Structure 1
Amino acid sequence: MFSSYDGLCGIGELAERAGVSVKTVRFYSDSGLLPEASRTAGGHRRYGPDSLARLRLIRSLRAMDLPVPSVRRILDEEDTAGRAGGALEDAVAGQLRTLGTQLRALRWREAALRLVQECAPDERADRLRLVGAVTAPPNTAPMARFWRAWLPPRMPARSVTAFLDVAVPQPPEDPGTAQVLAFARLYAFVDRPCGGTEPTQPHAHRAAGARDSAVLYAGLAQAYALAAERMRAGSEPHQGEALDGFVEAYASAGGITDTPNFRRELARRLAADPRIDRYWELTAELISPPDGSPEPTPGSAHDWLLDALNTQQGIALPAQRPGRARS
């Protein structure tokens, strides 16, 4: 309760009691957050007994960087229901999401700065150019565009989304310098057109219709997941469930029976398909854990399965595949 004869107080007294400036009180009043009880004949603002508690609540909400519209919704809800409920919860949740994004951006900027700082002087200009092209936090939309252009044009949207979920790597929340460099190089890789005059898509893409492409990629996803389990266990490419599912995906998409002749032809055809090794190499660098153990990617799983198919057909394996990755 204020000590004045009418139980009200002026703007200066209210500001002093709340520990804010008169300008701040005037701003909140003009914004409709802090109603005035009355005005004197001379036009001076007067505030009621509840104004101090309301002003302190406003200051607390604003101290959490909640925007004025959010503060207004919280106050309106408190005026109506007698307490802050859903509006406060929504505002706090939204602010936490915003802060999470900001913190993630700061961690990426810090790692990028360390990357430039720690590299050799003659490499700094190139590193700065690479990391400077990437937003913080990093945006994976260029990777998604790259794959949308590469996938069969009639592939159903649901199948495209499922493929992008595994083909587009999500940057780590707290990256190391090597991961920042891998992402920057990956960003630069997808930001330029696939090169040359050779076709950039596998043979299966050019022949697949909407249903066939959905069948193909659903089957490949299962085969890649099985192969990844074997790869994490350190198994060399071999026959089994993963290889059978891999072959069946191509056979089902083409309406063909899985036979020894089909497997020989498939091995020949896959060996001639174009490759996107560099994408999968960089993806593995980006998503692999700090202990250095390589995490399988769809590309490296494809290579493992193709090696298993070649072994079954008695075909000599390549001496070395970069990153064991394939488009």
Structure 2
Amino acid sequence: MNEDGGGLLTIGALARRTGVPVKTVRRWSDEGLLPPAARTPAGYRLYGPEAPARLEIVRTLRDLGIGVADIRAVLRSERTVADTAGCWADALDTQIRTLRLRRAVLRAVAARGTAAEELPDVHRLARLTAAERRRIIEEFIADALDGVAAPAYRAGLLAAAPDLPEDPAPDQLAAWIDLADLVQRPEVRAALRRLAEYSARTTPAEPSATAAEDAARVAGLMRERAETALAAGVAADSPAAEPVVAELVAAWLPTQAGTADPPQRDDAHARARLLEQLEAAAEPHIERYWQLMCTATGRPQPPSWSAAGTWTAGALRAHPEPGPGLVLPPAPDAQRALYVYERVAAHVAALVDAVPGEALERPTPCDDWTVRQLIDHMTWENLMITSIARDAPRTDPDADHLGDDHAAAFRASVGALLAAFTGTGLLERTYGPYGAPGALFAQQAAVELLAHGWDLARALGASTDLAPEVADEVLEAARGIYGAAPRTEGGSFAPERTAPPAAGGADRLAAYLGR
């Protein structure tokens, strides 16, 4: 029966007309959302002509998650749909934030490899309020800096205290959890205290209005120059590092005005002071602190100072007082330098081609380098010089440059460098503030490749008589490039060895370089 003859609908007819199951219509009717207009003599419910529209309203509100009591109030005109929707939207926002936080916690737990016993602490840290999070950092700073008179340093730390967004991404939450763990460690507090004490000793009593900006500018210059030197293969203890040190000291000196016993010129005192400053700042725990802080708050990551700081500090130790400056060797004949590199590269590439996969983990004469790491380094050097030629120096020496095919990767790097030599004007240009001729890059590339090719041959038990037709020229180029470099055990250049009387050019090059 669809209708009772008077325009009323049975529950089945209403269900068919609206697509709502009979069971659901009955439940909503029992809950007072859809009262029947009448009943049959047998007690079956009958619904009036307005029931389909009312049922659609109920279904829509239920689909939106609104509760029965609120729907009942809307249907009785006790509350408007707009008011009800607003209230439920607010409630949904809260639920969504809760669900997102739970998801972020689960993602963080998965990413961190959290153990079962750590889970309660992770969950507790994730649920802290903004005030509770700030209190953890404030207590860390107060404890670490207790008794240290460094108000500006303290204020800077407090100003950067983390404030997670309401809907943190999993990496932000993971960073906060790691940060909260980091600041509990005594060694981290000790590191922060050392920095604060250094700041208290060296910060001017009345810093200039541009002090922070000036310091940031000098730090950026140091990072840029050090990264450029690293990309160009300039060793910190080589003569080529001295002009870089001189430039950095000159830029840094004005920032020391107003400090106790400020250095006035580039001399041993100034270089010792700058080295002290760099060593004081070389706190990996604090660098990690700032990395986590920035990730947690969504701020841009500060550039890592690790590699650049290590190079600059090493250059200052190797050049404790101003030297005579860099004296460049004469510019070689560009085409001859290119030919020499081609011959060396051909010999070394043949050697690399012959390296079987099982030999990649063998040790080499280069400390701590396996055969694979040695080939990767040679590949990197080719790619690095190529990038300089294209005015975009690479700074990824620690990346994997070989992939699954070490021989193909090495040959590709040789091809890229040869294309750069011939297609970018590299051999005819000059580079850097000291006007280094581009052809020197070809010479240096040949020296590095032949020296490391010799290392590879030794590791493989192969003949070290590499590129005999040009090896003597490579040796002479090495003498011109590295002749003034300091020779110390453990340094970039070990003391020269004595080559056997009948040694070939590659063997004599290895002996000259201390191998």
TM-score, normalising length from structure 2?
0.34
Who wins on radius of gyration, i.e. which is larger? 2
